[in-house]
Each structure stands twice: as structure tokens, then as C-alpha cells.
Structure 1
Amino acid sequence: MTKKSAIQVEKVNTQIVNWLKTYAENAKVNGFVIGISGGVDSAVTSTLCAQTGLKVLCVEMPIHQAPSHVTRGREHIEQLKQRFPNVSSTEADLTGVFETFKKAVPDDSDTAKVHLALANTRARLRMTTLYYFAGIHGLLVAGTGNKVEDFGVGFYTKYGDGGVDLSPIADLMKSEVYLLGSYLKIPESILKASPTDGLFGDDRTDEDQLGASYDELEWAMLENEAGKSAEDFLGREKIVFEIYKRLNTINQHKMLAIPVCFITK
């Protein structure tokens, strides 16, 4: 499986930072608010936002969070605040809110659908919290989704981490986010950690959920854009391509505009 050539990280970095600054100035806001997860996407996004010189608020929003995620997130925030005086941070522990929600919508069944619905609820509680801080500080909510997640397999929560004002890294593949992260000198602990959404309260990784690695899905996304089909591949490549096509199909509702019933005049 081959991938496209590497990006020119310095030029990409400059372009995104200029785009962010111009967008914020035109919107007449003070800066950006970003949810920090301890993962590479939020670390890169917050560092890009910090380079604008505008106000950046990093928010930790634990909900029964794994200690390793919390540690990585705090390491990044502290490093970022040391490097950029325009960065500040706050924490909103949403564990109690999440537990209250569960009591308000009781369901005795212990099914996969219930677990997934509750996982998505975590993401939506965090989105609500970010917009609270955005509202009181005059900030834009910066999304942290990359190209494979946002436009390939739809690996995000609709109106959760998908509920944002702008998406700085949504045209970058996951591998390109890592290249940018290395260039931006985000903590090694984050660069080396297995990607995970942390929504289930266990140690499952993104690859566990998706059935393929990001490198594999990037390959499949490019092959699909080139007009290939599953019949063009064998073995693991065929399996990965079919995984990509299935996820891309079932998650189109996240990627397309909300359907509107236009009334005939």
C-alpha cells in the first residue's frame, strides 16, 4: 500500500496559521477554543491556533477519562502555555453531568447501541461545553478532525466533535498531521500514542473500532478517489478497501448537508 508524497510542512503550517488569523479577524472574534484530548489532532490544532497570536483557550473535559489521556493532554497544555503567552486553559469535569444524563434517560438494556449512544453523548456534552466557553469569551470553536475522519470514513460524532466553527486540519491526512505535529514539536508522548477517541471509557483504539489503521485507510481513500473498486484488490488490500467503502457509505449523512424539503412554488 503506497501513499502520496509528503507535504511541505513549513508552507502548510504558514498557510493554516494565516487562514486561521484572517478568518478570526473577519469574524471579529478574539480567538479560538479547543478541546484537548491528549491526541495528536487536538495538539496540532491548538498549536496552529496559538501561532496566530490571538487568544487560545484549551479546555480539558474529562468524562471517566483514562489517566494516560489526561496526563498527555496536560503535558501538551503546559508546554503550549510556556511557548505562547496568548494560550490559557481551563477544565470542566463533565463526569457528573454525564452520570446525571444517564439517570435521566434510563435504559436497562446493555446493548451495543446503548453503549454507542452514550459514547456519542460524551462528545455532544463536550461540544456544548466548548460553545459555552466560546460564547462568554468571544471565541470560535476550532475542530480537530483530519481528512480521513471527516471526509473518508466519517469517524466522528455528528453534532459532537463534528460541531465546530472551522476545521483547520480537515484537508490533511492523519500521516500529514503527524508530520506537522513533529515539525511543531508537540510532546513525544502524544506522537507515539495509539490514536483513540476515548469515548468508551476503556483502552480501545481507533484501529480497534475501524478495523484498519489510518495508513491503510488513507491508501483506500486515495484508491477510491482514483476510481478503483474492491475487485481490483486481493488479500488485506481488498479487506481494507471494503472497510473504507462500507464506512464511507453508512456515514454519508455526516458529510453531506442536512436534507431540506423545498416546497414547490
Structure 2
Amino acid sequence: MTKKSTIKVEEVNNQIVDWLKSYAGHSKVNGFVIGISGGIDSAVTSTLCAQTGLQVLCVEMPIHQATSHVTRGREHIEQLKKRFPNVSSVEANLTSVFDTFITTVPNNVDAGKVNLALANTRARLRMTTLYYFASVHGLLVAGTGNKVEDFGVGFYTKYGDGGVDLSPIADLLKSEVFLLGHFLAVPQSILKAAPTDGLFGDDRTDEDQLGASYDELEWAMSQAEIHKSSLDFTGREKVVFEIYTRLNAVNQHKMLPIPVCRIKK
């Protein structure tokens, strides 16, 4: 069921780095700011940005964060700073901000809805923080979403991790991001870790939330271009295809431009 990538990693790496340099030059900015989560996407994105030679600010933004996520993120940042003199880092611990927010909003509604709303709030607080640093230092906020998340199942927070200035890896499948991660010598702890958004303060993985692995979703994404119905599949393939098409449908509001009411003149 897997979809094997055939990208030439060095060529892809060089193409993205050149694109980043060109975009930053036209935008007349000093470089990039990136939120570091301890995951593969932010590790690859920050390493790509570092290769431009422009200023790169890596920001840690823990909110009741799992120790393993913090450890992986810091390992990556320290490695990156040793490799690239243009990389710096800062920590903005948002735990107290998040806790204060919780006390100011009503939470006497459905617990499941509250938990999801608060998970998205974490992402939006981080977006606000990244734009603070971007404004102060004259930087662009670099997004870390990949193709499956951004254009397949919409697995990101609207105006959270989806609120960025540019998306260097959004045309790469998750498997391709991992290939690039190996090429870029991202720490093994990150390459081996199960992908997770870390927004719920527990150990649930992306696969736990989505109901399918990224390899499975990549397969479904490729099949959706050919097949319109899950009736064309059986067994696990049918289940995965239904998961993909359902998520793709309900998250179109994230992927399409904001609707505008056009007034008749």
C-alpha cells in the first residue's frame, strides 16, 4: 500500500535552498524564524533555511511539553548551531500564558470539544510568538507542513502552524521529508521518533489521531487522483481510503482560499 518516493534528495535540497534565498532577497528580510518541535518537519525545514547563510532563529515554545519532545528539539538546535554560524535560538515558555488563557474562557461545555479547542490554542499561541520574533528581527516565518498534511488531510491548525509566510517543504510527502532528513544528517532521535503534533500534552502520535500512517495516507492521496469511491477497494485499503477522503473533505476550509462575498456592483 506504500507509495515509494523517487526524489533526488541533493537536487531537491539545492532547489529549496535556492528558492529560500531568492524569496528572502525579494522580500528584503534578514532571514527566517522557525518553531522547533523535536519532529522531522521542523528539523528538516530549519536545516534547509540554515543552508541559505541568512539569519535563522530557532524558537522553542514549550506548553506542558513532553520531556522527549523538548530533548529532541534541543539536540537538533545545538547540532544546527555547531554546523551553521548563522543559526541562533531562543526559548519562549508559553505554559503560563496557556494556563492563564484557560482560566479566562468558559470550559463548561463538551470535554472533547474543549480539548480540541485548547490543542488548537497551543498552536495559535505559538504562531503569535513566531510573528513577534519575526517582526522584531525582520524575519519570515517558515512553515513546516508537508504535502500530506497541508493538501491531503489538512492535519494542521488554521492560523496556528498553518499561519506562515512561506512553506519550503509543502510539496514533499512525509516519506520524502524523511529522505531529506537522512541526507541532512538530522539527529537519529528525530529520525526514529513517531511523528506527533504534541498539542494534547500526552503521548498520542499523528497515526493515533488520523487512524492511518503517513505511508498509508500517501498511498491514498495518490489513489484519490484515480479513484472516486472506496468501493474500488477492500480490507485495509478501503478503510484507509475512506479515512483520507473524509479528512480531505472536512478540511477543505483550511486548504481553499478564504471565501469572500462578492457584492454586485
TM over 0.5: yes
The equivalent of 2:142 in structure 1 is 142
Name the CA distance, whole Å, in 2 between partners of 1:53 and 1:5: 29
In structure 1, the partner of 2:99 is 99
Q: Does 1:152 align with 2:152?
A: yes
Q: What CA deviation, in whole Å up to 9, does each residue of 1:81-117 have, x standing for no partner?
A: 0000000000000000000000110313451100000
Rounded Cα–Cα distance in structure 2 between residues aligned with 1:2 and 1:164: 30
Identify the residue that residue 37 of structure 1 maps to in structure 2.
Answer: 37
Q: How does 1:90-239 map to 2 (within 5 A)?
A: 90-109=90-109, 111-239=111-239
Number of equivalent positions: 265
Cα RMSD for the two superposed structures: 0.8
Q: 1:27 is matched with which residue?
A: 27
Name the aligned partner's letter for residue 262 of structure 1. R
8 Å CA contact retained: 2:127, 2:159: yes
- Name the amino acid aligned to 1:161: D
Distance, in Å, in 2 between the alignment partners of 1:200 and 1:105 is 18
Deviations 1:17-63 (CA, angstroms, capped at 9, x unpaired): 00000000000000000000000000000000000000000000000
Q: Which amino acid aligns with 1:62?
A: P
Instruction: Work out whether residues 5 and 176 of structure 2, in 8 Å CA contact, stay in contact via their aligned partners in 1.
Output: no
Distance 2:5 2:25 in 1: 33
Q: Determine the structure 2 residue equivalent to 1:250.
A: 250
Using structure 2 for the length normalisation, give the TM-score.
Answer: 0.99
CA distance in 2, matches of 1:32, 1:47: 11
Partners of 2:146 and 2:2 in 1: CA distance:
19
The percent of aligned pairs where both chains have the same amino acid is 81
For the residue of structure 2 that corresponds to 1:225, the secondary structure is: coil
- Matched with 1:53 is 53
Give the 3-state SS of the residue equivalent to 2:224 in structure 1: helix
TM-score for the superposition, normalised by structure 1: 0.99
Work out the CA distance in 2 between the residues paired with 1:69 and 1:52: 26
Read off the aligned partner of 1:51 and give its amino acid letter: Q
Q: Bigger CA drift: 109-118 or 74-83?
A: 109-118
d(CA) in 2 for partners of 1:165 and 1:145?
Answer: 12
Moved more, 8-17 or 104-113: 104-113
Q: Is residue 2–residue 218 contact of structure 2 (8 Å, CA) maintained in 1? A: no
Give the letter aligned to residue 34 of structure 2: I
- The amino acid across from 1:40 in the alignment is I
Residue number in structure 1 paired with 2:80:
80
Q: Stretches of 4+ moved more than 4 A in 1? A: none
Show the counterpart of 1:262: 262
Q: Which runs of 5+ in 2 are unaligned?
A: none
Deviations 1:215-240 (A, max 9, x none): 00000000001234211110000000
Moved more, 65-74 or 110-119: 110-119
- Give, as a single letter, the amino acid of the residue that structure 2 aligns with 1:240: V
Q: 1:123, 1:133 → 2: CA distance?
A: 16
The letter for the 2-side match of 1:17 is: V
Supply the distance in 2 between the matched residues of 1:19 and 1:229 (Cα, whole angstroms).
37
